[in-house]
Every structure is written in C-alpha cells, then in structure tokens.
A = this chain, B = another copy of it.
Amino acid sequence: MNSLSEQTCEACKVGAPKVSDEELGGLLKKIPDWNIEVRDNIMQLEKCFSFKKYTESVAFTNRVAEASEQQGHHPAVLLEWGKVTVTWWSHKIKALHKNDFIMAAKTDQLYQN
C-alpha cells in the first residue's frame, strides 16, 4: 500500500463518506504532528510550519497552493512572518475526508523539500 503522501485525492462531492471514527485513529497516526481543530462544528486538520526567512514562508505557501491545484483540493493557508499555518477540511461534506489526510501528508513533504 502506498504511503498517504503518494496517494491522490478522489473527487469529493456532497454526500461523500467522511472519515469514520474507526478510521480516524489510524489516519492520525500517519500524520502525528497535525492537530484536530473543530470550528463551526467542522473537524479540521491543522499544523503550523516555522520559517526563519519570510521568503521561505512565501515559497512554501506557493508549493502548497500548487499541490492543491493539482489535486483539486484547497486548504486555508495563513501566511505570516515566521510561520505558515495550513488547515485542511472538506468543504462539501463539512467534515474530514480521506483526501484531507492525503493532503496533510503531502504538505509535510513539501515542508521538507
């Protein structure tokens, strides 16, 4: 089985299955540094990435944006001096879809590159 970061997002439509409680624990173990946040009753994956230079924060933001266009799944990216906070959730189902875990794993790889 491919690692999460090597998988691709499937089209997520209204009514698509959200990640079940049984799946959640296993998926979270694969992206251990990501936090669960709940906003407006919507579960989200969030992680803050630190940078010494602002230009590096901007470059990372662009890499995440490019990957999100490729996969057709777009996060909230908060660009600030010294840090970038990335938040993934699936707007159409107002919950976490497996796509979000795939994109979180890809985001980690983009930070390392």
Question: A residues touching B (Cβ–Cβ < 8 Å)?
Answer: 54-55, 58, 61-62, 65, 68-69, 74-81, 91
Q: Note all chain B residues with C-beta closer than 8 A to A79.
A: 61, 65, 76-79
Q: Can you list 25 pairs linking A and B with CB atoms under 8 Å apart?
A: A54-B65, A54-B68, A54-B69, A54-B74, A55-B69, A58-B62, A58-B65, A61-B61, A61-B65, A61-B79, A62-B62, A65-B79, A74-B80, A74-B81, A75-B80, A76-B78, A76-B79, A76-B80, A77-B78, A77-B79, A77-B80, A78-B78, A78-B79, A79-B79, A81-B91
CB distance from A89 to the nearest CB of B (A): 11
Closest 10 CB pairs of A and B: A74-B81, A77-B79, A58-B65, A76-B80, A78-B78, A54-B69, A54-B74, A76-B78, A79-B79, A61-B61
Shortest CB–CB separation between residue A107 and chain B, in angstroms?
A: 13
In the complex the two chains form, what is the Cα distance from A91 to B83 in whole Å? Answer: 14
Q: Which chain B residues lie closer than 8 Å to A58 at the CB level?
A: 62, 65
Give, as a whole number of angstroms, the nearest-CB distance from A79 to chain B.
4
